[in-house]
Structure 1
Amino acid sequence: MTNPYTAPIPPAPRPPDSRPLHKRVLVWIGGAALLVTGTLIGAAGNDGQQPIEAKVKPATTVTATVTTTPEPGPTVTETVKAKPKPGPTVTVTRTTTAKTADSGSTGNSNSTGQDDTEPCTITSNAGNCYSAGQFCRNSDHGAVTTTAGGTKIECAYSSNAWRWTYA
């Protein structure tokens, strides 16, 4: 037990090194010799070697373009009442153009060769077709439409948001 009023006892002195001096000198000489040897080997390791060059093959790119021109015909209008999951009732009106049997005459006055109807039945407030992944308006919940390319998409609730997803 120590007395709080007395000075602490100093630690015991370190004993002198038990190894003789000639062994300590030999360790230093061996370490220095290894250092010099490693430096010489590292500096002379690239003698007579040529660098390897990698040859790159040219990439092949294939591009395919498909263009279809729909034939003009009578217009068919179909009204579908969609059942929304949670939300208000949505009514979707789809207008399509049927193909005619006469493919020789092109009564279309459109200079681009496309129909007068848009491929998508529901458009954004700016008048653009929706694509998969975009957010839906509240009035479009549960509705089905097509993208600009003609793929069917549906306004569905997923990942805590109403988004257009592939139907």
Structure 2
Amino acid sequence: MNSKEEFSEAIKNWMSASMHTFMRQLHIYAKQNSLSITQINTLLRIKKHGPIQVSDVSRSLDISRPAASQLMDKMVQRDFLKREESRDDRRVKFHNLTPNGEKLLKGFFESVKGIQAELVDSYSENEYGKYRDLLNSLTNNLLQNQEKDKKEE
């Protein structure tokens, strides 16, 4: 195996391990809070992008509008989301996080930070800079590829 193949294999292994770790933590946290992964992902999307409509959820999850509406209704009932009318058109409803929804996500982020802290603590002070630069480079390349993909859609 040449250097490029070894590097490619190392990236593949890192991506697989990190995705598995994140998804496992997501699954555990969702189960602890009696939520589905889809519900947690919807809350994360709202946290990142702001208020959304049922049609946005339907499109992003590739599910029917009634299924998306039911998903959102359950989170409204549990006080993780609030439903608000559009100022311009009362027929349009937006969903946003409630303080309970924010608190729920904060708990998830804290659990992920715990895993991150363990990982950071497993390296020496001398290794931080080297790995930081590599991870920043990999992250920037991934983000650039995501932007290219968005433009092609």
- TM-score range with shorter-chain normalisation? under 0.3
Larger radius of gyration: 1
Greater RCO structure (CA 8 Å; 6+ sep): 2
Structure with greater helix share of residues: 2
